[in-house]
Amino acid sequence: MSDPITIPAQPGPFPFDVASTALVVIDMQRDFLLPGGFGETLGNDVALLRQVVPPLVELLAAARAAGMLVIHTREGHEPDLSDCPPAKLRRGKPSARIGDPGALGRILIRGAYGHDIIDELAPIAGEIVIDKPGKGAFYATSFGDVLVEHGITHLIVTGVTTEVCVHTTVREANDRGYDALVVSDCVGSYFPEFQQIGLQMIAAQGGIFGWVADSAAVIAGLS
Ligand code: C5J
């Protein structure tokens, strides 16, 4: 048990202790963040997601220095697409479906260059990487078991995209009894309006899904 920390957040203070909290870094993959990746082939401006990188690099360093458990996730599929539901496969533009060849390798396929995490946030030894076929981190993965094994009760959630994989994971976590804090400048969306509303939705109604704070507040709490 480490010393309890309380940081200012919306809708109110977020108390946690390092030993029972995990920093979750969702899908900071080249396919979503780099030019030529899946995100761009869908017509998105990846620069909006790149804004997340500098504050998240700092937050990750602070979490590592504090000895917090760090869990990275990657959205993607087996090369034979056996874990990709046909309904998901059909989505997107016909020229850029999951599994198709792209500028960064086969789109969202495990082992492809584009599927891996960007260099700036590459996992280090001892950090956990969860490969997930869905938007949420719990579905069809060992994520829930990993949290239980490590005695985790609180999550500090970062990554992309705010309204898709971040939201799905936070909602799944909330239903399982976890207290989740979403770090406002360390999550990103291709759509500025979704970013703003997505964050508001989490903390609305007294924290219907969790809490929201910026990285400065979390880093100050950890130092
Ligand atoms: C999306 C994600 N947006 N990681 N994936 O398809 O949010």
Q: Is 161 in the pocket of ligand 1 (CB under 6 A)?
A: yes
State the closest ligand 1 atom to the C-alpha of 159, by its place in the atom list counted from 1: 4
Nearest Cα to Cα of residue 62 among 17, 23, 117, 118 = 23
172 lines ligand 1 (CB under 6 A): no
Amino acid, res. 14? F
- pTM for the whole structure: 0.97
Beta strand 105-106 pairing with 101-102: antiparallel
Give residue 169's pLDDT.
Answer: 98
**Hey, whose CA ends up nearest to atom 5 of ligand 1?**
165
DSSP state of 52: T
Per-residue pLDDT at 94: 57
User: 3-state DSSP call for residue 79?
Assistant: coil
Write the pLDDT tens digit of every residue in 128-187. Answer: 999 999 999 999 999 999 999 999 999 999 999 999 999 999 999 999 999 999 999 999
Is 31 a pocket residue for ligand 1 (Cβ < 6 Å)?
A: no
- Give first-to-last CA distance, the chain, whole Å: 17
**Nearest by Cα to 200 from 188, 215, 210, 191:** 210
Give bridge partners of residue 160 from the DSSP assignment: 188
Catalytic residues: 27, 132, 165
User: 20-74 pLDDT, tens per residue?
Assistant: 999 999 999 999 999 999 999 888 999 999 999 999 999 999 999 999 999 999 9
Render pLDDT for 29-42 as a digit per residue (tens, 0 to 9).
999 999 999 999 88
